[in-house]
């Protein structure tokens, strides 16, 4: 008790002294944001025909998939009893936004991402199946669903359907991440979270972080493969990153100005947070979306509903919700991405989609 | 004979796969959802009967008063007057049903009283609260206090 009280400043309600939403809950919106952002970058090429970013198209999709597969794990680890999460699907509770996450997630994973990746890779998968033998051949044939048809007409259909899926995918990506923002934005008891701007702010910060991630992955992968980085591509990505960042920054400033002008009862409490606890993190927010997620999730729990007190967050290291599992969870998607790249190399059909060509190896 | 889906067979297979997965899920779902779920709300209606069948563990003050003189003169007006007997003495439905075989356990007042009266900053200032070691050393609370009529 005394050790807990030592971290309290001012007046805190007893249930507020210890933070319930840990670093894992920071990780969850961060990872889903990376997914949404990576997908938006991929759709730039597919839907908006930004040819320059083409070299990152497939990489962006695989990155989105790798991170999406990891996205629910922080939640599972935070809540415990992962076996119970399946019950969200069995007995859906439609009036709870949190309980509907399973469906938002499943739709985005299976309805959008997997289908789009499959359609885009189908030609390569079939070619791989043709050129390999034994179990590898069986694996790729199964991936191709036993189909061997990569005639021009079939590929054209794939392209059209793929484009349609991407178009559906954009609002879906917005839904996935806007939803995460909505969860926080609708916690009306917490003035730090409760704003209708939250989904939009989350979305644009997601785009910023996702684009930045794919850019880094692309540079790393090119470096590992000993290939030169396509500078036009990188410049274009950086430009979009800058646009997204501008919008994100404007939204955050808008949020802050709005809070300052509104100056409701909670403001003195928030103002103190902005000026002291987050002086450092505030600077970091400008360069790292993770810091923003941290500010939102952890920051929202540091002040009392009494608006008269503050607590601090002590993160464990090798505990269930400590730093170590958080770090491992951040490494895991890269391991999955590495595996995905091994199975479905993004550079196999590099260049002209829709034309049959032999695999380059 | 025209084959409109000739070049889209792989898509039909994909759609078929989704269909199979969807139907499989629905079958699984109907097997896994317990009977009565959703009848009365977002829960299994049979849970109400299950709960109703659970044997009560608390007898209630009325049952105590049937045998014990609750000494109303002691309790009346005392700070503990509104507290149920079993709040301190524990759930004693078994004892109420068969007083001879089921004997209530002796109480360790030092830990029992601390449940409410251990000092804690979150409690309102008017509430009697002590740090037991400073307040009474190793002595038990009921060496000085009478729990049924607290106050020294």
What is the least distance, in Å, from the CA of B29 to any CA of chain A? Answer: 6
Q: What is the mean pLDDT of chain B?
A: 86
Q: Which residue of B11, B14, B42 is in closest CB contact with A91?
A: B42
B135 in contact with chain A, both atoms CB, cutoff 8 A: no
Provide the 10 A C-beta neighbour count for residue A63: 32
Domain annotation covers residue A9: no
State whether the Cα torsion A335-A337-A339-A341 is positive or negative.
negative
ipTM confidence score: 0.72
Residues A354/A154, Cβ–Cβ less than 8 Å: no
A146 in contact with chain B, both atoms CB, cutoff 8 A: yes
Give chain A's length.
361
Residue B70 burial (C-beta neighbours within 10 Å; 0-12, 13-18, 19+): middle
From chain B, pick out residues whose CB is under 8 angstroms from the CB of A308: none
Closest-CA residue to A40 (of A244, A198, A185): A244
Residue B71 burial (C-beta neighbours within 10 Å; 0-12, 13-18, 19+): exposed
Domain annotation covers residue A294: no
Beta strand residue intervals within chain B, DSSP E: none
pLDDT above 90 covers what percent of chain B?
39
- Taking phi over 0 as left and psi of -120 to 50 as alpha, with beta for the rest, A80 belongs to left
Q: Which residues of chain A have pLDDT under 50?
A: 276-286, 351-361
Domain annotation covers residue A236: yes
B37 in contact with chain A, both atoms CB, cutoff 8 A: yes
Domain annotation covers residue A250: no
From chain B, pick out residues whose CB is under 8 angstroms from the CB of A6: none
Angle at A111 between CA A119 and CA B14, to 5 degrees: 50
Find, in chain A, the residue whose alpha carbon is nearest to that of B14. A145
Domain annotation covers residue A273: no
Domain annotation covers residue A313: no
More confident residue, A20 or B31: B31
Q: Is B17 a residue whose pLDDT tops 80?
A: yes
Domain that holds residue A124: 27-243+320-343
How far, in Å, CA of B16 to CA of A103, rounded? 20
Domain annotation covers residue A262: no
H-run or E-run covering A9: strand A9-10
Read off the pLDDT of residues B90-112 as tens digits, 9 standing for 90 and up.
999 999 999 888 888 889 988 89
How far, in Å, CA of A36 to CA of A176, rounded? 7
Tokens (6 digits) for A154: 């079939």
CB-CB under 8 Å, A115 with B120: no
Total domains in chain A come to 1
Classified as helix, coil or strand, A159 is: helix
Domain annotation covers residue A277: no
Q: What is the DSSP string of A268-317?
A: HHHHHIIIIITHHHHHHHHH-HHHHHHHHHTHHHHB-TTSSEE------S
């Amino acid at each position: 008790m005394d050790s807990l009280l030592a971290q309290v400043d001012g007046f805190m309600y007893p249930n507020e002294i210890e933070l319930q939403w840990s670093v894992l809950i920071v990780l969850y919106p961060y990872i889903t944001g990376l997914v949404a952002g990576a997908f938006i970058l991929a759709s730039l090429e597919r839907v908006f025909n930004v040819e320059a970013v083409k070299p990152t198209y497939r990489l962006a999709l695989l990155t989105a998939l790798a991170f999406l597969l990891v996205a629910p794990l922080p939640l599972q680890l935070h809540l415990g009893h992962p076996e119970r999460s399946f019950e969200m699907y069995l007995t859906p509770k439609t009036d709870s936004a949190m309980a509907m996450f399973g469906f938002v997630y499943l739709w985005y994973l299976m309805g959008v991402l997997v289908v789009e990746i499959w359609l885009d890779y189908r030609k390569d998968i079939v070619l791989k199946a043709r050129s390999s033998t034994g179990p590898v051949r069986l694996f790729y044939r199964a991936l191709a669903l036993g189909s061997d048809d990569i005639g021009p007409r079939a590929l054209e259909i794939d392209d059209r359907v793929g484009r349609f899926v991407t178009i559906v995918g954009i609002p879906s990506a917005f839904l996935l991440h806007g939803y995460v923002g909505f969860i926080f934005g609708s916690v009306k008891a917490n003035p730090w979270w409760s704003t209708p701007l939250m989904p939009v702010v989350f979305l644009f910060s997601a785009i910023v972080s996702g684009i930045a991630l794919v850019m880094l992955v692309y540079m790393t992968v090119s470096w590992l493969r000993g290939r030169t980085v396509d500078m036009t591509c990188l410049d274009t990505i950086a430009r979009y990153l800058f646009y997204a960042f501008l919008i994100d920054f404007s939204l955050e400033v808008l949020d802050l100005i709005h809070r300052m002008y509104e100056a409701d009862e909670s403001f003195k409490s928030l103002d103190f947070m902005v000026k002291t606890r987050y002086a450092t993190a505030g600077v970091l927010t400008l360069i790292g979306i993770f810091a923003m997620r941290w500010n939102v999730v952890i920051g929202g729990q540091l002040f009392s509903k009494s608006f008269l007190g503050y607590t601090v967050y002590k993160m464990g290291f090798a505990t269930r919700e400590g730093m170590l599992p958080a770090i491992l969870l951040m490494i895991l998607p890269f391991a999955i991405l590495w595996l995905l790249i091994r199975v479905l190399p993004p550079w196999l059909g590099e260049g002209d989609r829709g034309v049959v060509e032999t695999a380059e190896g | 004979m025209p084959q409109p889906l000739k070049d889209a067979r792989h898509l039909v297979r994909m759609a078929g796969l989704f269909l199979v997965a969807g139907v499989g899920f629905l079958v699984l779902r109907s097997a896994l959802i317990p009977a009565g779920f959703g009848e009365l709300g977002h829960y299994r209606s049979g849970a109400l009967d299950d709960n109703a069948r659970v044997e009560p563990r608390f007898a209630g003050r009325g049952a105590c008063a049937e045998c014990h003189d609750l000494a109303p003169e002691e309790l009346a007006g005392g700070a503990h007057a509104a507290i149920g007997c079993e709040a301190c003495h524990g759930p004693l439905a078994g004892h109420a049903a068969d007083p001879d075989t089921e004997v209530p356990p002796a109480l360790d007042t030092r830990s029992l009283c601390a449940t409410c009266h251990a000092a804690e900053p979150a409690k309102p200032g008017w509430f009697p609260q002590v740090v037991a070691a400073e307040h009474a050393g190793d002595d038990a609370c009921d060496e000085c206090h009478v729990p049924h009529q607290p106050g020294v």
